[in-house]
Chain A
Amino acid sequence: MTAALINVLIFPGLLFLFVLSLIGEYYDRKLYARMQNRMGPPWFQPVADFIKLLSKELIIPANADARIFKVLPLVACISTIVAYLYIPLFSNNSLLPFNGDIIFVLYMLTLPTLSYALAGWYSRSPYSLVGTMRVLTQLFAYEVPLFMAVLAPAILASSWSFQEVISFYGNSWLWLVNIPAFAVAIVTLQGKLEKVPFDIPEAETEIVAGVFTEYTGPLYAYFRLAMNMQTIVGASLVAAVFFPFGFGTCVLLNFVIYLLKIAFIIFLLALMRTLFARLRIDQMLVFCWKYLAPVALLQITINIIIKAWF
């Protein structure tokens, strides 16, 4: 019981993920800034932002449904943390492995997006309303390619569990086959995290902050936290599925390799943020279905062929 509580609350649950997400946010912002030839924030900026938001006044719009309005940020946070508990980080085993945990994690990661949409809907502000429409439209655009891309390696391993996928690839170089799916996963992950070029649901210059427009103070802090944790969880998921190596006996080495893996993935995400302009929602739909979905399908086909061949 105590062990389980420690797992949930401290390691690798809430506290660890919290610290890691703040570090991740700092790293992401610093990289983004340096690529734009700026200095970027000091190391304590994410913590300072978080504390500042917590101390601010909480304003709930008169039209909003107060109860749901307050609950949604927590839903987003909790579902992200739960997803994290089921991802193997630095051993080939997650905390609570079971068959089908890949699917479970993917669905847990969809929950925050839905809570954003609901948050926008219940805010009853025109900006949030447009934001909600865009969140849902975007969800339809990236979710299918993301699922296909993440599940392609699992198809090759003929299993829905992280443990078996990782042990299937073992120390062979077969994971290199999945690189196209990795590319699709990174791009769609960017869409899931709602960052440029896919920050359409919260496009600052169009709809202020989209679904979060009416959120202030602590509630907004939790949403931001959920967003940051999602970055880490998403990166961990992609790392576990596409880089199934570096799970040796030395735990410390494994830990360093894990950090390097997510650092690399966050770097790719930051790079994408630097290079492109924001797409329009219709362009996003076209892009996802015209380019990403076929690539992911192709990957699945390749994997099925390889499987038949072996």
Chain B
Amino acid sequence: MSKKLGKVFVEAVTSLFKKPATSGYPFEKREIHKSYNGKIAFEQPKCIGCQICVKNCPAKALIVAKVQDKVFEMTISLAKCIFCGQCVVSCPKKALSTTSDFELAQSDKNKLTVKL
């Protein structure tokens, strides 16, 4: 090994004049990929109420309830959801999809249970 002093000197000094790699998050937002596993989106007309998503959900975050004949309502607990996307894969009618919405924090616990 050949030893040198201040190996990162050049990089450090040039960094002074570069745009910072970080950004002021809540004010400046980064673009999120469309394929991001964020909050689940639900298309009500497609749902047939088969409950496969509920059964396959590893976190037991989903509830599908029958509102009236052939109309189903879905409730998700964002606190429980682990954003694995298993429900999207499981759905036989493709009624579920992922969105890139990831800013889901709430100061009120009750608001974490959302009707989709």
| A35 and B23 contacting across the interface, CB-CB below 8 Å | no
**A37 at interface, CB cutoff 8 A:** yes
B6's nearest neighbour on chain A, judged by CB, is A275
Given A274-B8, A276-B6, does the pair A34, B22 have CB atoms closer than 8 Å? no
Residues of A within 8 A of B6 (CB): 275-276
Residues of A within 8 A of B23 (CB): 39
A31's nearest neighbour on chain B, judged by CB, is B16
Residues of B within 8 A of A275 (CB): 6, 8-9, 12
| A35 and B16 contacting across the interface, CB-CB below 8 Å | yes
Task: For the complex, give the distance between the alpha carbons of A107 and B98 in Å.
Answer: 66
What bracket does the count of chain B residues touching chain A fall in?
10 to 19
B23's nearest neighbour on chain A, judged by CB, is A39
**A271 at interface, CB cutoff 8 A:** yes
A273's nearest neighbour on chain B, judged by CB, is B12
Interface string of B12-31 (1 = CB under 8 A from A): 11011010111110000000
Given A275-B6, A276-B6, does the pair A38, B12 have CB atoms closer than 8 Å? no
Task: For the complex, give the distance between the alpha carbons of A38 and B21 in Å.
Answer: 6
| A34 and B9 contacting across the interface, CB-CB below 8 Å | no
Residues of B within 8 A of A35 (CB): 12-13, 15-16
Would you list 22 pairs from A and B whose C-beta atoms are within 8 A, ordered by A residue? A31-B16, A33-B20, A34-B20, A35-B15, A35-B16, A36-B12, A36-B15, A37-B15, A37-B18, A37-B21, A37-B22, A38-B20, A38-B22, A39-B20, A39-B22, A39-B23, A39-B24, A40-B20, A271-B13, A274-B12, A275-B8, A275-B12
Task: Add 16 more A-B contacts to A35-B13, A274-B12 (CB < 8 A).
Answer: A31-B16, A33-B20, A34-B15, A34-B20, A36-B12, A37-B20, A38-B20, A39-B20, A39-B22, A40-B20, A271-B9, A271-B12, A271-B13, A274-B8, A275-B12, A276-B6
